[in-house]
A and B are shown apart, each in its own frame.
Chain A
Amino acid sequence: MDIRVQQEPFDLGCEAAGFAEKTSASGAVVTFTGIVRNTPEGTLEYMDIEHYPGMTEAALGQIATDALTKWSLEDAMIIHRYGKIRVGEMIMMVATAARHRKDAFEAAEFLMDFLKSRAPFWKKEVSRDGAGWVAAREEDEDALTRWQQ
């Protein structure tokens, strides 16, 4: 299990390859990457991401541990950045490794659903017209209920 909270960019190709190489019993690796998307008007300059040092690492560790318990995974990884991240840059990635793809896909989705609303990060959008905190979406909260059965 590899959990990283960092300001620096990461290299998706290197991280995905390194993660896959470390596995020995897996036939499936799934990765998901989140990228800073521009507004429809194209005015966004960057995202400023704040987090709660200490709690962030603990929450991500707990979410990954839950995934490893719930699915038959060999390994899981989460990288999440904070600070100023420009449009088009990568914010975060998760990777899961399992014998078969179903476990790897489902566990990756579970990690994403919990990261969205249970990991202490807050996004501020800074655009040419001003700055504002991104509001949490109700769908993100609803997404958690399907994992609670």
Chain B
Amino acid sequence: MDVLYFAWVRERIGLPRETVETQAETVADLVAELIAREERYAAAFADLSALRVAVDQELVGFDASLAGAREVAFFPPMTGG
């Protein structure tokens, strides 16, 4: 599964995307796996209320299923316009 990071999440983790081998069933499970990896992930995911997530380019909640998902992206609230 491809995992993408944008804006300060990308800066805090230190890379824009990576391929992750995971059996995580939901976004929240994936987040827990990432946090357990290294301190920089724990720092980026410390406050989930400050983050948004998209699965296959659709905005979803952290309880969303990852069944069949190819791409998950984490980012702060968007500031377009």
Contacts and interface: CB of A to CB of B under 8 A. Distances in A.
Interface of A: 34, 50, 52, 54-55, 58, 80, 91-92, 112, 115-124, 133-136, 141
A34 B7 contact: no
Interface string B1-43: 0001011101000000000000000000000000000000000
B76 A120 contact: no
B68 interface: no
B7 A124 contact: yes
A123 B73 contact: no
B79 A136 contact: yes
15 contacts: A50-B7, A52-B4, A52-B57, A58-B57, A116-B78, A116-B80, A117-B78, A120-B80, A121-B78, A122-B6, A122-B75, A124-B7, A135-B77, A136-B76, A136-B79
Contacts, number: 65
Interface residues of B, number: 16
Given A52-B73, A120-B6, A136 B57 contact: no
B64 interface: no
